[in-house]
Amino acid sequence: MNITLRVWRQKGPSDKGALHEYHLTDISEDASFLEMLDILNEQLFAQGEEPVAFDSDCREGICGMCGIVINGVPHGPHKNRTTTCQLHMRTFKDGDTITVEPYRSRAFPILRDLVVSRAALDRIIQAGGYISVNTGSAPEAHSVPVPKPDADRAFEAAVCIGCGSCVAACPNGSAMLFTSAKVTHLGLLPQGKVENYERVVAMLNQHDAEGFGACQNIGECAAACPKQIPMDCISFLNRQLGKAFLKGR
């Protein structure tokens, strides 16, 4: 495959960025998108130019570090929704022009090129996404019964990898799908119910303090999520917030 890349280049947070154009030839359609960026960087290095900075770690669709915007879509235009590292070049056509940009959000400052800081998501988790009460040692698996529907829904929400694609896709830059996924998977399990209401309030306050926008249930977050977190997690969060208000939390 021969492709043209338009890549966002920015030296630092305070520098002005711009799209730079590169041409690549003989790219295998079986290469992943990140492997294609590796090939680009090898060429740039050989030419004495600065390689493109981008995040990656596991390259197995697990960690969420690889999030970038490809042709206007977080993680790329794959119809089955996947992480960038699991996106392959056969998704595109020979001769295509591909525009690659970092996530755009006030809460995700650009550090360099395609790398953004998603520390705001970590701070939301730190605000309440843990269990602080003493639960003792690990109980025997059958000693704390959990209804099957609750367990299934908790696991469904727990697969969120915190990649931030929901924020990048949302017109308001909201992180409500991420926050609600954490609230849901902790709030449905017995150990997490002890601090459920305090957690909801603390995490939402931190969400707003980080500069994320408000949720208007547009649905772009769920459409872009590579782990298919359902929007009804947001409904669960809103119900828990209402209960917290009624209980004076």
In which residue ranges of the chain is CATH 3.10.20.30 found? 3-112
Give tens-digit pLDDT for 11-22: 999 999 999 999
Amino acid symbol at 203: M
**d(C-alpha 85, C-alpha 89), whole Å:** 11
The CA distance from 119 to 121, in Å, is 5
Predicted local confidence at residue 14, as pLDDT: 92
Provide the pLDDT confidence category of residue 53 given band limits of 50, 70 and 90.
very high
Other beta carbons within 10 Å of 112: 18
Rg (CA), the chain: 20
CA atoms of 165 and 167, how far apart (whole Å):
5
Residues of the chain with CATH 1.10.1060.10: 117-133+141-247
Which residues fall within 8 angstroms of residue 166, CB to CB, at 6 or more apart? 174, 175, 176, 177, 178, 221, 222, 224, 225, 229
In words, the CATH class of domain 3-112 is: alpha beta
C-alpha distances out from residue 131 to 83, 156, 192, Å: 29, 19, 6
The CATH superfamily holding the domain 117-133+141-247 is Alpha-helical ferredoxin (1.10.1060.10)
pLDDT, tens digit (0-9, with 9 covering 90-100), for 165-188: 999 999 999 999 999 999 999 999
Among the residue ranges 9-13, 101-105, 107-111, 195-199, the one predicted with the least confidence is 195-199
Who contacts 228 (Cβ-Cβ below 8 Å, separation ≥6)? 81, 222
Name the residue type at position 133: V
**pLDDT, tens only, 111-155:** 999 999 999 999 999 998 766 767 677 777 778 888 999 999 999
- What's the whole-number average pLDDT of the chain? 93
